[in-house]
Amino acid sequence: MTWWKWLLIFIGMVVISGLLERWARGKRSWAWRVVRGCGKVMGWLTYLIPW
C-alpha cells in the first residue's frame, strides 16, 4: 500500500472518531467511555492488521 492510502485511512479514522466523541459527549459519561475504548481498539487493530 502506498503512503497516501495510509494517510487517507488515518484522516478518515480521525474524523470518524472525532464525530463519535462529539456525539458521545452529548450523551452520558458511559457512552463517552465506550467510544474512547472503541477508538483505542480500532487504533491497535490498524497497527496489527497487515494491509
Q: pLDDT by residue (tens digit) across 5-50?
A: 888 888 888 888 788 777 767 666 666 777 778 778 877 877 776 6
**Arithmetic mean of pLDDT over the chain:** 76
Distance (Å, whole) CA 34 – CA 9? 22
Distance CA 4, CA 30 (A): 35
pTM of this prediction exceeds 0.75 = no
- CB pairs under 8 A, 24+ apart, for 37-40? none
- pLDDT value for 22: 77
Residue 20 CB neighbours (<10 A): 17
Contact (CB, 8 A) for 21 and 36: yes
Q: Is pLDDT above 70 for 51?
A: no
